Structure 1
Amino acid sequence: MRRLLIAAGGGGDAITTAMVHAALYGEDTPALVLTYAWERLVVDPVPGPRSPADFTGTERVGELLHLVTPRSAPVPPAGSLLPRLAAALKPALGILDPYTGSTGMARQIAEAAAYCGADRVDIVDVGGDVVADGSEPTLRSPLGDALAVAACRRAGLPTAVHVAGPGLDSEVPEADLLPRLGEPAFTLTAGHARCVDAVFDWHPSEASALLVAAARGVRGVCGTRDAAVPVVLGPASARVYRLPLERVLEINRLARALEGVEGLAEAESACRSVCGFSEVARERFRAARGFGGAVGSADAVVDAGALYERFAAWERRTAALGIEYVTTRRFAEELALSPGELALLRGRLKGRAAPPLWRLNVGR
């Protein structure tokens, strides 16, 4: 028997799901995590999610269920870190295919439950947009979470929804989320984060990085990329809240609108109706204009002194905003660092590490 969990938002949610699995069942308990291959433009230059057909080397264990293995690879020009995650995380990873809509995803989930011998499902979301109602002005990526909820409802399996680190994805503020979440079920610790320790050396997920830092006891104002307001790591940041599926459906209007949807285009239309936008369309727009891609270019000889001076000037500007900690992704993108420059700077900043964040010299 394997536990069956769903990483609701794609990308870094699989990392958070591995931590929640460790807290709920123990990191060595066999498990399958279903996740979207939807890793945004920083990883995948092709907008929108990938389907199983966009990978080679997956392991097909049913009519609809494809497992990602360390030998899997995205078909160019697509990109994906899921094969590398499959090597790094203890739970197995399976691909959720949103191109089949909530109806097809429900069949995938039912097939996965049969494969695992599981009689229940745990949905995991980092940040909390799974309990957004669709009207929040800062909401950016509600579709994956809502599709997962709608598909689980249709699959008919007992399902619990776990929200980890409310507000850490910079979408719905923590203060707006906490009244919807009730009392916390448990708090993540450094021991639960141990299973993902090495992932942030190469994975750009910011929300999961903030969650790991919170689980390790980091508290303070954190700067992430492309967010108007910094995230404050506080008492609730390492907590996990458990809600019944029906309660989430009461809150999440988009999830209710997606019940019975048979394809991604129809799901996009529902998202426009409920939330006023399509995040897939936003990705297409950004990709067409060259936003969000990987920052690294071919490395020339790196001038270490000049590089650190650039970082120091950036640090002074950033700390002046009241920010105490930053993600790797923020300074890598804002300084447009090549891979070689990033590696050199990380080595120079070892004394500032608050893994997986970096501490700024505030007040310098």
Structure 2
Amino acid sequence: MTRLIVAAGGGGDAVAAAMLDAALYGGDDQAVILTYAWDRLLIDPLPGPRGADNFTSLEPLTPAVWKVPAEARPIAPAGSTLPRLAAELPHTFALIDPGHGAEGVTRQLEDLVTHLKPTSIDLLDVGGDVLARGDEPTLKSPLADSVTLAACCRVNAPIRLLVAGPGLDGELSREDLRGMLGPLVHTFTAKDAEPVSPVLEWHPSEATGMLAATARGLRGTCEVRDAGLPIPLTDESPTVHEVDLDEALSRNELARAIMSTTTLDQVEALSREVCGFSEIDYERNKALWLKEKRPAKLDAESVLPQLAQFEAEARSRGITHTTFRHLTEVLNLDGSQRDDLRRLLIDSKPERYTAPLWHIPAAMSDPS
């Protein structure tokens, strides 16, 4: 009774897949989550996705697909959250390796379907950027989702496309998505978020963190990313909708363009042509900038006054919450300091921690 959930964009989508499995299927150990090893530069300093040759101790799941067990390790300087996910969650994590383009990912999916004979296959995207045309001005990371969408559309098996947390990734607004979302499949609850709560204490995903927070009832406006994007947290945020797979493909120009690609370089070239950019180029440029950046000193005397200034400015913008990833960047720290920052802030102001987000109260109720 194996179930297969494809995490469309990797990263936080894999954590959301565990939430989905708990909510819809009971969350036992019968689910395989197929996902990229593609983390933010805070975790993995190398731009782009990791392939099988970037890990030690992978295990063959099928002839074409590798399982990432808890014992696996990324080969330095690469980093990855997947081994820790495998250690903390009951699911089997399998690696999407896009090195051979959409055709390669299609072969991996076909191999899994042949060998596992899953009782269900869900393609899950948090936020909804899998439905982007490619020319939206807010679009930042269409590549991974487009590859998985293209591959799923080529596989001869029934696959259900699900969008969780419409608009939470900040790439398409809820208004942009509203006409494309199909039937409501589920609304996440606090009970659904509980199995991944320990993971979200350390995992850097902002979108899935907000998904879990809104499942617990949190509402407001959360500021995310290095650019400080405001994301509304509403009653729609913890929902999951089905979307017609063929309609998604007909809308996603990049997914259609890359269907016959056999290398990641080809996928990137077509992303630049269709969307005007490749997100891996953005990561390459940011990695060079981070290499030259000198991180700020991390102690209460240095950080808390800067935090107070940021919170005052954020309040003026109507912001009620933010992420520790965003705080790491606005306080001029680097990724290796994120966990220490989180501990410092929670120890200093525990009432502000609304897991896994940081609360920015109105000035009148600010205890500082």
TM-score by length of structure 2 reads 0.92
Distance 1:66 1:4 in 2: 14
* Pair 1:312-2:308 in alignment: yes
1:182 correspondence with 2:188: no
TM-fit CA distance, 1:165: 0.5
The superposition leaves residues 154-177 of structure 1 with CA deviations (integer Å, 9 ceiling, x where unpaired) of: 221111111001111111111111
Identify the residue that residue 108 of structure 1 maps to in structure 2.
108
Instruction: List aligned pairs for 1:1-364, cutoff 5 A.
Output: 1-28=1-28, 30-290=30-290, 302=299, 304-337=300-333, 338=337, 339-364=339-364
Q: 1 CA distance for matches of 2:293 and 2:154?
A: 36
1:275 partner letter? C
What's the secondary structure of 1:114's corresponding residue?
helix
Give the whole-Å Cα distance in 2 for the aligned partners of 1:14 and 1:108.
17
Are the aligned partners of 1:38 and 1:49 in contact in 2 as well (CA < 8 Å)? Answer: yes
More displaced, 310-319 or 133-142?
310-319
Q: Does structure 1 retain, via aligned residues, the 8 Å contact 2:352–2:358? A: yes
> 2: CA distance between counterparts of 1:93 and 1:58?
11
8 Å Cα contact 2:226-2:330 kept in structure 1: no
* Letter matched to residue 198 of structure 1: P
Question: How many Å apart are 1:292 and its aligned residue?
Answer: 11
Q: Provide the rounded CA distance (Å) in 1 between the counterparts of 2:315 and 2:291.
A: 25
1:80-130 Cα offsets, whole Å, 9 max, x none, are: 111111112222111001111111111111222233221542100001001
Give, as a single letter, the amino acid of the residue that structure 2 aligns with 1:171. Answer: E
Give the deviation of 1:342 after TM superposition: 3.3
Structure 1's 295 and 158: CA in aligned 2 closer, same or farther, altered over 3 A?
farther
Moved more, 231-240 or 316-325: 316-325
Residue ranges of structure 2 left out of the alignment (5+ in a row): none
The answer on whether the counterparts of 2:60 and 2:66 sit within 8 Å (CA) in structure 1 is yes
Aligned CA distance change for structure 1 residues 292 and 28 (closer, same or farther; 3 Å)? farther
Which residue identity is paired with 1:269?
A: A
Query: SS where residue 61 of structure 1 aligns?
Result: strand
Which stretch of the first structure deviates more once superposed, 50-59 or 251-260? Answer: 251-260
Distance 1:64 1:132 in 2: 29
Alpha carbons 2:150, 2:256 under 8 Å: kept: yes
Change (3 A) 1:38 1:351: same
> Aligned letter for 1:67?
K
Cα gap change, 1:292 to 1:66, in 2 (>3 Å): farther
Distance 2:108 2:292 in 1: 31
Backbone CA RMSD of aligned residues: 2.0
> Per-residue deviation at 1:324?
0.6
Give the TM-score taking structure 1 as reference length: 0.93
Unpaired runs of 5+ in structure 1? none
C-alpha distance in 2 between matches for 1:312 and 1:123: 41
CA contact (8 A) 2:3 2:118 kept: yes
Distance, in Å, in 1 between the alignment partners of 2:85 and 2:42 is: 16
* Matched-pair contact (CA < 8 Å) for 1:170–1:227: no
Per the TM alignment, residue 296 of structure 1 is displaced from its structure 2 partner at its CA by 8.4
* Alpha carbons 2:61, 2:94 under 8 Å: kept: no
Distance of 1:292 and 1:196 partners within structure 2: 35
1:252: Cα distance to partner?
1.2
1:45-66, Cα deviation, whole Å (9 max, x unpaired):
1111110110001111222111
Matched residues in 2 for 1:293 and 1:199: separation? Answer: 29
CA contact (8 A) 1:45 1:77 kept: yes
Pair 1:47–1:293, CA change in 2 (3 A)? farther
The answer to whether the 8 A contact 2:226-2:329 is kept is: no
Note if contact 2:133-2:253 (Cα within 8 Å) is conserved in structure 1: yes
What secondary structure does 1:46 align onto?
coil
